[in-house]
Amino acid sequence: MTQPSLETHDLTVRFGGHVAVDHVTCAFRPGELTAIVGPNGAGKTTYFNLISGQIPASEGSVLLSGEDITRLSIPARTERGLGRAFQLTNLFPKLTVLENVRLVVQSRMRRGFNIWTMALSHRDLIEAAEAVLERVRLSHLAHQTVAYLPHGDQRKLEVATLIAMEPKVFMFDEPTAGMSVDEAPVILDLIAEIKRNTDATVLLVEHKMDVIRSLADRIMVLHNGALVADGAPAEVMASAVVQEAYMGKELADV
């Protein structure tokens, strides 16, 4: 079997007495799209935060392509190929759409400390950014300021920046949250495209079951911070634990 691109071993975080993520051990392989589900407060976003480094782990480890990254800084993880999109849109609001993507390409190409050339003369960065905007169909908004964009376009841009990063592991935290029924499919198509065209690992936190059914190769269920089910979608959805986690014991019994 191929080496997992991302692994967590007994990954745990405690806030005071509360265990938000409880010894989660899991491995994600290249080309695999895993949906992480669970009720509100199950620890899905916290699990993401531990992997991408926003929160330090209390216990356990995170491995990226076999390398232990548990103690690395956020930028160091990004450099090694971990890409994360956030649940709440997190962009540079006063910069243009193009600049938001260009900055990501610039980071990937390690040109940030270039102090004596004009940013505008780095045509290749701009062209790469424009190509990504083309892919997500935001080219017509390239010179708009992000703050004035509708929510749906901001979410698209967030996905665009992740694509521009060309990571080994994509992490999407509810990418369609707050989007209208018409807009959501665009994002899902983009994710499907990533899955089709690259052999990157994709982690997706999502609530909408139809989305999961159409995209996921595998489902992980978190409940009270612990991993309670992990497997193929059909299997997991049918399992009793999941019914219980989602609807409560009483209802599941009925």
Give the CA count within 13 Å in the CB-facing half-sphere of 16.
1
Binding flag, residue 1, other proteins (CB under 8 A): no
Q: Which is nearer to other proteins, 40 or 117 (CB)?
A: 117
Pick from 2, 16, 18, 113: which binds other proteins (CB under 8 A)?
113
Least Å distance between CB 94 and other proteins? 6
**Which residues touch 146 (CB under 8 Å, ≥6 apart)?**
91, 92, 93, 94, 95, 96, 97, 100, 154, 157
Give the nearer residue to other proteins in terms of CB position, either 62 or 216: 62
Q: Find the binder of other proteins among 61, 87, 92, 178 (CB under 8 A).
A: 92
Does residue 246 bind other proteins (CB under 8 A)? no
Q: Does 57 bind other proteins (CB under 8 A)?
A: no
* Residue with Cβ nearer other proteins (127 or 253): 127
Exactly one of 8, 46, 106, 154 binds other proteins (CB under 8 A); that residue is 106
Asked whether position 22 contacts other proteins by CB under 8 A, the answer is no
Of these, 122, 137, 207, 208, which contacts other proteins (CB under 8 A)?
A: 122
Distance CA 55, CA 187 (A): 27
Tokens of 247: 């609807």
For position 88 contacting other proteins by CB under 8 A, the verdict is no
Contact with other proteins (CB under 8 A) among 108, 155, 195, 218: 108
Closest distance of CB 199 from other proteins, Å: 21
List binders of other proteins among 58-87 (CB under 8 A): 73-75, 78-79, 84, 86
Neighbours of 166 (CB within 10 A): 16
Query: Pattern of binders to other proteins over 190-209, x per CB under 8 A?
Result: --------------------
Provide the minimum distance between the beta carbon of 44 and other proteins in the complex, in angstroms, as a whole number. Answer: 18
Q: Which residues contact 198 (CB under 8 A, 6 or more apart)?
A: none
Residues that bind other proteins (CB under 8 A): 52, 73-75, 78-79, 84, 86, 90-95, 99, 102-104, 106-108, 111-122, 125, 161, 165
